[in-house]
Amino acid sequence: MAEPLVVLKDVNKHFGDLHVLKDINLEIGKGEVVILIGPSGSGKSTLCRTINRLETFESGSITIDGKELPEEGKALAELRADVGMVFQSFNLFAHKTILENVTLGPIKVRKVPKAQAEKRAMELLERVGVAHQAAKYPAQLSGGQQQRVAIARSLAMDPKVMLFDEPTSALDPEMINEVLDVMIGLAREGMTMVVVTHEMGFARKAAQRVVFLADGQIVEQATPEEFFTNPKSDRAKDFLGKILTH
Amino acid sequence: MGEIFANYDIVGAVWKTIQLAVLSAIGATVIGTIVAVLRVSPVPVLRGIGTTFVNTFRNTPLTVLMIMSVLGFSFLLGLQIREDFADNAFWWAVIMLSLYHAAFVCEALRSGINTVPAGQAEAARSIGLTFKQSLLEVILPQSFRGAIAPLVSTYIALIKNTTVAAVIGVAESAGILATITENEGGSLPLFLVFALIFVVLTLPLGVLGTNLSRKLAVKR
Ligand SMILES: Nc1ncnc2c1ncn2[C@@H]1O[C@H](COP(=O)(O)OP(=O)(O)OP(=O)(O)O)[C@@H](O)[C@H]1O
Ligand SMILES: [Mg+2]
C-alpha cells in the first residue's frame, strides 16, 4: 500500500451519552478509494465529517498528509481546503450561480485571479457535463446536475482527498449513474476517495477496500469482491442479507 | 390649531424625532450586527457575551433604561456626554435606544441566519472558507431575506419608541405634545396630527420591506 494520506488513530466521539465512534483506526493511502458501509446509525456520516472536522472528536488523532487536524480557526480552514466534501443534499450555494459556486473557493481561499478561476471552473464543469448551465442558479438544475456541480466545486480546490457522504441517495434512479460515472472517472485518475455508499456496482468498479462499520466500530475490512461475496463477521452477513434482498 | 403651530416648534420637535430615530437606527444596526456575529460564533465565551447582551437589553423596559441613563449615569456617576443639559439627554437617548433595539436587530438577523440551511455553512467551511468568509460570502447574503420582516418591525418600533426619550426631557414629538397638552389642554385634532406624523414616518418602511423581500428571494 502507498504511504498513508489519511491516518485515524484511536478516534473516539460521543454525541452526549451516545458513543458514536469507538476506537477508530484507519489508514487511507494516496490514490486509494475506500467505501464506508454499514447499517443506518452506525456512524458512517459522523466518521466522514470527523475527517474534515465538521464534527469534533474527544480523543485520538487524525492526520492528513502528515499534518494533524488543528482545533479551529485559520489553520483548520486551510486544511479543509485540501479535503473535498460532497454531501447527500448537494449544498450548492443557493444565492450564487453555478460558475460562482465553483470559483468561490479558488478566489477566496486560494487567491486565484478571477479570470483564471473561471477558466478552470469552466473546464471542470465541462468535465462533469454541466458547462452549458454555468450561468444558472442551483435551484434551476436537476439533482444529478447539482451533485455533479458539487463535485466540480470540490475539485476546483485541488483536494488531496475527497469525502462523499451518500452522494447518490437523494437522487432519482435515472440520475444515479451520471454521478457515479463522474466518480469512477475520478477514481481511475488516482483521486484519493472515502465514499459512504451502498452502491455495490460502484464499489466493485472503483474501490480497493470496503470498510464495514457497525455501532461505531470498524467490524471488518476487505476488498469489495471479498466483502460482498464472502463476508466474515455475522454483523456483515446479516447486513448484506438485508440489502441484497431489496 | 394654527396658533399652536405658531407658538410651539412642532417642526423642530419632529426633526428631533427623526434625528433620534436615524442615529439610533444606525447605532442599533451596527451593535446588533456585532452581537449577532458573537451569538453565532464558534467560540463559547463570545456566544455567552452575545446572549447576555440580548437578555439584558431585551428584557429591561426602555423607560427604565432612559431614566437610568440620565438619573443614574449622568447625575449620580457624573457621566456627562455633553455639557448642555438638553444635548446630554439627547445623546443618552440615542445610546439607550441603540442598545435596546440592538438586541432586537440581533435577534432579527439571527432568525434570518436560522432560515439558511445548516448545509450551506458546512459546504462553505468544507471548501476552506474561514468563519468570517462563510458568514460574509454565504450565510449573511442568504439570511437578509429572512431577516427583513423582523428588521422592519424593529425599525418601526424604534421610531415609535423614540417618544420614550420624552421622559428624560428630550424635546421630540411626544415631549412637545405633552407640553402643549399641559399648557393649552388636549384636543383630538392635535393628537391625530401627531399620530399621523408617526404613520408618515413608519409607513414607507413597511412598503420598502415588502419590496425588498420580494427582490431578494433565494430560490431553493
Ligand atoms: N448532531 C447529532 N446529535 C446527536 N446525535 C447524532 C447527531 N448526528 C448523528 N447522531 C447519532 O449518531 C449516530 C450515528 O449517526 P450517523 O449519521 O453517523 O450514522 P450513519 O451511519 O451515517 O447513518 P445513515 O446511514 O442513516 O446515514 C446515530 O445514532 C445518530 O442518531
Ligand atoms: Mg449518514
> Quick one: CA torsion of B155, B158, B162, B163, rounded to 10 degrees?
110
Residues 32-71 of B with CB under 8 A from A: 42
pLDDT tens for residues B115-173?
Answer: 999 999 999 999 999 999 999 999 988 988 789 989 999 999 999 999 999 888 888 89
Domain assignment of residue B9, given as a range: 2-215
In chain B, the number of structural domains is 1
Mean model confidence pLDDT for chain B: 90
How close is the nearest chain B Cα to the Cα of A59, in Å? 20
Who's near B102: CB < 8 A, 6+ residues apart?
B27, B28, B29, B30, B31, B32, B35, B53, B57
Confidence of residue A246 (pLDDT cuts 50, 70, 90): low
pLDDT tens for residues A25-72?
Answer: 999 999 999 999 999 999 999 999 999 999 999 999 999 998 888 877
* CATH number of the domain residue B174 falls in: 1.10.3720.10
Question: Which of A12, A22, A44 is the best mutation target for the ligand 1 pocket, counting ligand atoms within 8 Å of the beta carbon and taking the most?
Answer: A44
Handedness of CA A63, A65, A67, A70 (dihedral sign): negative
pLDDT tens for residues B70-106?
Answer: 888 877 777 788 878 888 899 999 999 999 999 999 9
Residue in chain A nearest B127 by alpha carbon: A81
The grid coordinates of residue B176 equal 412637545
Q: Which of A212, A166, A164, A154 lies closest to A51 in space, CA to CA?
A: A164
In a domain, B211, yes or no: yes
- To the nearest whole percent, how much of chain B has pLDDT over 70? 100
Mean model confidence pLDDT for chain A: 94
* Residue B175 φ/ψ, nearest 5 degrees: -60, -50
Q: Residue with C-alpha cell 453565532? A: B40
Confidence of residue A20 (pLDDT cuts 50, 70, 90): very high
In a domain, B158, yes or no: yes
In a domain, B220, yes or no: no
In sequence order, what E strands does B28-125 have?
A: none
Question: Which helix (H) or strand (E) element contains residue A238?
Answer: helix A234-244
DSSP one-letter string for B109-152: HHHHHHTS-HHHHHHHHHTT--HHHIIIIIIHHHHHHHHHHHHH
Give nearest CA residue, ligand 1 atom 26: A40
Give me the total of CB pairs closer than 8 Å, taking one residue from chain A and one from chain B.
Answer: 76
In a domain, B23, yes or no: yes
What strands lie across the sheet with A59-64, from one edge to the other?
A18-29, A4-15, A59-64, A67-68
In a domain, B95, yes or no: yes
Handedness of CA B55, B58, B63, B65 (dihedral sign): positive
ipTM for the whole complex: 0.91
Q: pTM for this one?
A: 0.84
Give nearest CA residue, ligand 1 atom 9: A46
CB contact under 8 A, B122 and A87: yes
Whether A245 shows a pLDDT value over 90: the answer reads no
Rounded Cα distance between B86 and A155, Å, is 63
Question: Which helix (H) or strand (E) element contains residue A237?
Answer: helix A234-244
